[in-house]
Each structure stands twice: as C-alpha cells, then as structure tokens.
Homo-oligomer: A and B are copies of this chain.
Amino acid sequence: MGIVLGANQYGKAENRVVRIYRDSPRHEIRDINVSTALRGDFSRAHTHGDQADVLPTDTQKQTAYAFAKEKGLQSIEDYGLALAQHFVDDVEPVQAARVEVEEFAWERAVIDGAEHDHTWIRRGQEVRTASVTVEGSGDDQQVWVTGGLKDMVILKSTGSEFAGFLSDPYTVLQPTNDRVMATSLTAKWRFSQHTDVDWEATYAGVKQLLVQQFAEVHSLALQQTLYEMGRAVLETYGFVAEIRFSAPNKHHFVYDLSPFGLDNPNEVFHADDRPYGLIQATVTRDDAPDAGPAWYAYSGLV
C-alpha cells in the first residue's frame, strides 16, 4: 500500500485591488477581488518541505496589484487572462493557473442631473464574476473563460405556480397557482472562445436576458424559468457554450392572518431565511466543446 499526493493547488485568495483611471478629469474606477491559484508538480513541497519550485503566494499578490497597472484593468476577463497566462508562461514549474475575479460595480453620483467626475456610490445589486483557467505552454496551451454574476436578488409577485408535483407519505405541501417567486441568482456562462469577445457588452446583454426571462416567462417551476433563461442566452450568444445556474428559492410564505379576522390574498408575506429550496441546472449546447477544468473552481478541491 502506498500513500501519495493527489490533486493540489495553491495561491493567494481575495486580493482587493482597486484601479482608478485618472488620465482625464472624468475618472474611471474598477473594484475587484481577485484570487489566483497555481497547479503543477509541487510534490516536493508537500512530501519534503522543499520550496524550490514554489512561487510564494505573496508573489502572486504582488503580481495581481502590479498587473492592474502594467496590463490595466478594463475587463476582468482580460485581466484574468493576462495574469493566468503570465503564471503559466513565465514561471517554469507552473503547468496551469486558475484566476477568479469578482467585480463590484459603482455608479456615478448624480448632482443636479449630471454625473460626477470622481464620486461614485457602490451598487450593491449583483456581483460580476469571471474565471480563467490556462493549461500548458506554446501551441498546446488551452484556455477556458467563464463569465458570471452572483447575488442578484430578483422577485416576481405573480406569474408563478407550483402544482402537479409528486407526492409521497411525507408530502404536506399544498399546490399553488399564484405565489411570490424570488431567488438570489448565481449564473456562470462558459465561453467557447477567449478572443474577439466584447466582454462588457456580453455581460450587460446576458444579464438583461436573464432578467427578461425571469419577468416574462409564466413560471410553472423555478426549474423552467432557469431553463428559459439559459436558452435565451445560448440562442443570442453563439460563443457561449453553456450556462449554469444556482438558484436558492427565497421563500416568501403567505402569513396566516385569519386568527385576526383578516383576509390575506397574497399581500403580506414572511420572508424566511432557512431552510430554502436550491435549484441547480445547466443549459448547454449539444455540441459544446469539452469543459475541461473550466468548472474546477478556485476553492473547489474540498
């Protein structure tokens, strides 16, 4: 029997980089949380404590901040690509790199109807996300990019049903033909190419499609809504290979006001915290290129 090192990676997590562009009086801001991880044969660090092949996580941090200046920070996908390719191309023992980025959006303060040049309020709505995975060198190098969003809380107060479901002896739920449906949406879409993509326009467009489908699809189940969201994205963006959703069902329970002689026709709800339904689904092209390590997340080993 032998005991051996299995899958492993290491990196610096949650570098909070803020980049201000101030070349003109109208400044621009980019505010991100970037995590990097390196993969390769680092077995001697594990089995012998030998760091000769280990680029410190501190160096990864320095690089993340330096690249915000050297390479710029316009689209998080491009920034992630620059970082990941640098680690793989320039650091000999690194065989693959994973970079994940969260971006926090800011909107300009509006004063007397005009956008301010250098003052912003943080939009709290959704967090934009991206991941880049680069493997191999030279002509064999492969690249996977995903875009995404998380924490987009969206709700519709009608146009949602849940009925006709399977029953068993533990089923007490009553069917409903009109309910509040709400979720805090996480969506990630995988690109089938990583050049010639307008990352900014694509992000805005995908987000808008997700919102539109949520609003306009008469929902028989959250599953159905997610599928229609995904279908709309894939139909619109030929370079999106697949899209994945994680959608907690943020339950809004109709409050029982009958003890007080009050009707409650879907007007007063208790927004509950836990437990919550969780629906996860993928919508994909049947000829999507192989996902490879695209979904092997930064913190995904455990």
Q: B residues within 8 A CB of A275? A: 12-16, 35, 61
Minimum CB–CB distance from A73 to chain B (whole Å) comes to 8
Q: Which of B42, B69, B171 contacts A59 (CB 8 A)?
A: B171
- B158–A11 CB distance below 8 A: no
Known contacts A20-B267, A51-B165, A91-B168; A227/B285 CB under 8 A: no
- Kindly state the separation between the CA atoms of A223 and B45 in the bound complex, as whole angstroms: 6
| A270 and B3 contacting across the interface, CB-CB below 8 Å | no
What is the CA–CA distance of A62 and B169 in the complex, to the nearest angstrom? 10
Partner of A157, one of B111, B118, B272: B118
Main secondary structure of the interface of A (DSSP, over half): mixed
1/0 per residue, CB under 8 A from B, across A1-31: the answer is 1111111111111111111111000010101
A148 to B245, CA, bound (A): 27
Partner of A277, one of B11, B20, B49: B11
For residue A201, CB closer than 8 A to chain B, the reply is no
Contact of A280 among B10, B109, B215, B279 (CB under 8 A): B10
CB of A51, distance to nearest CB on chain B (Å):
4
Interface magnitude class on chain A: 35 or more
| A197 CB–B CB distance under 8 Å | no
Q: In the bound complex, do residue B5 and residue A172 qualify as a contact, i.e. CB atoms below 8 Å apart?
A: no
A154 touches B49 (CB 8 A): no
Query: Contact: B3 with A172, CB < 8 Å?
Result: no
A228, chain B: closest CB distance, angstroms: 9
Taking a contact as CB atoms closer than 8 A, the residue among B69, B262, B284 that contacts A264 in the complex is B69
The answer to whether B116 and A8 touch across the interface, beta carbons within 8 angstroms, is no
Asked whether, in the complex, the Cβ of A10 is within 8 Å of the Cβ of B278, the reply is yes
Instruction: Kindly state whether residue A54 has any CB partner on chain B within 8 Å.
Output: yes
Please, what's the 1-or-0 string for A190-228, where 1 marks a CB less than 8 Å from any CB in chain B?
000000000000000000000110111001110110110
Q: Report the 4 A-B pairs with minimum CB-CB distance, sorted nearest first.
A: A124-B124, A49-B220, A6-B282, A122-B153
